[in-house]
Amino acid sequence: MSKEITSRAADYSQWYNDLVIKGSLADYSAVKGCMVIKPYGFGLWEKMRDQLDKMFKDTGHVNAYFPLFIPKSFLSKEAAHIEGFAKECAVVTHYRLKNDPNGGGVIVDPEAKLEEELIVRPTSETIIWNTYKTWIQSYRDLPLLINQWANVVRWEMRTRLFLRTTEFLWQEGHTAHATAGEAIAETKQMLDVYAAFAEEYMALPVIRGVKTESERFAGAVDTYCIEALMQDGKALQAGTSHFLGQNFARAFDVKFSDKSNKLEYVWATSWGVSTRLIGALVMAHSDDDGLILPPKIAPMQVVIVPIYKGEDKKDLLDAKGKELAGQLKAAGISVKFDDNDNTRPGFKFAEYEMKGVPVRIAMGLRDLENGSVEIARRDTKEKTAVPMEGLPAYVSNLLNIIQQAMYDKALAYRDQHISRADTWEEFEQLLDGKGGFISAHWDGSPATEEAIKEKTKATIRCIPLNNPPEEGKCILTGQPSKERVLFARAY
């Protein structure tokens, strides 16, 4: 089975698609640009979503649900928002079908045309701030700390499973505050939540930073981001947290009376991560044999495969396998005992390698006699004979070890791929050779940023938080610069 996967060396992009499809994460659909998230992929998303949801709630947020549709006129209200965004949208113009009078199925009823077109939400700032207007009158109504789990649609011409699809699933937090300081603190807090989630659960090291003006979210005063590095040396933006200032409050006229009864515009943030994270997870950790999933979010942490010799003592193996599975389950480990006897063990091994199950336990008749099992780690492929006695503690500990090892490996790779370039030649060589993040001086102008992007396809991923000041000269223009920024080619 693993032979069917294109290797990273041969075609990285095809390797990625093979993993997503053959690893049963997702599938193409009949609707251009939209994907089907398959049960295994959705199981992974559920684990990620539930953990993030817990972290949002632990920081005082609650969930709500706002409409899928946005009146077209709303998108015109915040000038920068519509300027930089929201053009490639699904537009609902009619609300009824009818039978084709000439036979042959249904047609759109021309009489059921909407007076004002509705846009399928590409993001929900506008509809939410229009709602907040009715919810916020006084400082007592603040802060409002609301998150929404939802599907959104941004029409894409060139799509990639998980990484860029027309419809995707995400969460979007939208908070309202009495002061700029509070809103900025919230923006940063949620960036930290995202970074903690990526690093502790996805085993994905990230760089926290702030976007340049031209990479900023349309309508934001500042966009903070976490940036991760994929195995092909390209960067991937894994989450963003925006300080929106009073822009949306002004656009939707949302004011509150403060303690001295003075009317003020409300301060806002928004922040989101999406199913794109699954793409990042796949590309950061997997190998040419399939997915490698971190134990903390793997839908199935352990699989137990019995090695039957025909019917000989099959009952004994099954009984022991179920007993061990029960013990692991009782220890809070998600485990599958695969007693399907239509499939050979070798096929099963390849299948679970493909799916990235962190720990595989194999058990044959000799193991049964010895009171031991063979444990294989998916990440390193190491195999060890382990006594059945005390298995739950052993596996529990091993899962932690794997989680940490995956993070360490990704971190070492990432750190080896942050390079400094001081000349344009170095910059180009690094980009085309080693790849990764390049720390270089930039003169601070959007025109230079654009020129670099046109020449090399590299963008400024972020200005890292706590960036040390350093005098230098822009790699392209030679103009003075006060700090380095991080460039990379990116997804």
Shortest separation between residue 40's beta carbon and its own copies, angstroms: 8
> Does residue 26 contact residue 17 with C-beta atoms inside 8 Å?
no
Q: How many Å separate Cα 467 from the centre of its chain?
A: 25
Packing angle between helix 314-330 and helix 391-416, nearest 10 degrees? 70
State the Cα–Cα distance between residues 353 and 349, nearest whole angstrom.
6
* Binders of its own copies in range 331-350 (CB under 8 A): 342
- Report whether 231 contacts 218 (CB < 8 A): no
d(CA 413, CA 333): 29
Provide the CA 244 distance to its chain's centre, in angstroms: 22
> Is 253 among the residues that bind its own copies (CB under 8 A)?
no
Q: Which of 155, 265, 308, 413 binds its own copies (CB under 8 A)?
A: 155
Is residue 383 a contact residue for its own copies (CB under 8 A)?
no
**Which lies closer to its own copies via its Cβ, residue 88 or residue 213?**
88
Nearer to its own copies by Cβ, of 23 and 209: the residue is 23
Phi and psi angles of residue 354, each rounded to the nearest 5 degrees, phi first: -55, -40
Quick check: 2 binds its own copies (CB under 8 A)?
A: no
- Among 74-82, 354-362, 380-388, 412-420, the segment contacting its own copies (CB under 8 A): 74-82
CB 123, min distance to its own copies, A: 14
Residue 59 interacts with its own copies (CB under 8 A): yes or no: no
- In the bound complex, what is the minimum distance in angstroms from residue 208's beta carbon to its own copies? 29
And the tokens for 140? 């007592």
Alpha helices, DSSP H, located in 75-163: 79-84, 125-135
Going by the DSSP 8-state scheme, the letter that residue 76 receives in this structure is G
Residues 165-184 as x/- pattern, contact with its own copies by CB under 8 A: --x-x---------------
Give me the least distance between CB of 22 and its own copies, in Å please.
Answer: 14
Q: Using the rule CB under 8 A, is 46 a contact of its own copies?
A: yes
Q: Kindly tell me which residue out of 7, 13, 14, 63 binds its own copies, with binding defined by CB under 8 A.
A: 63
Tell me which of 1, 2, 6, 72 binds its own copies, using CB under 8 A.
72
> What are φ and ψ of residue 400, in 5° steps?
-65, -40
The SS3 call for residue 221 is: coil
Distance CA 483, CA 473 (A): 9
404 contacts its own copies (rule: CB under 8 A): no
Residue 261 binding its own copies, by CB under 8 A? no
34 vs 418, beta carbon nearer its own copies: 34
- ∠ CA 485-486-489 to the nearest 5 degrees? 140
According to CB under 8 A, which one of 2, 17, 22, 38 is a site residue for its own copies?
38
Decide: is 75 part of the binding site for its own copies (CB under 8 A): yes
Nearer to its own copies, 63 or 429 (CB): 63
For residue 377, the minimal CB distance to its own copies (Å) is 26
Residue 127 CB, nearest distance to its own copies (Å)?
7
Query: With binding defined as CB under 8 A, does residue 54 bind its own copies?
Result: no
Q: Which of positions 83-142 make contact with its own copies (CB under 8 A)?
A: 86-99, 104-106, 108-109, 117-120, 127, 130-131, 134-135, 140
Query: 207 or 249: whose CB is closer to its own copies?
Result: 249
| Helical axes 276-285 vs 39-58, angle rounded to 10° | 110
* CB 97 within 8 Å of CB 106: yes
Q: Which long-range contacts (CB under 8 A, 24 or more apart) does 323-332 make?
A: 324/361, 324/363, 324/373, 324/388, 324/391, 327/391, 327/392, 328/302, 328/391, 328/392, 328/395, 330/392, 331/392, 331/393, 331/395, 331/396, 332/396
Chain residues binding its own copies by CB under 8 A are 27, 29-31, 34-39, 41-43, 45-46, 62-76, 82, 86-99, 104-106, 108-109, 117-120, 127, 130-131, 134-135, 140, 146, 150-151, 153, 155, 167, 169, 342
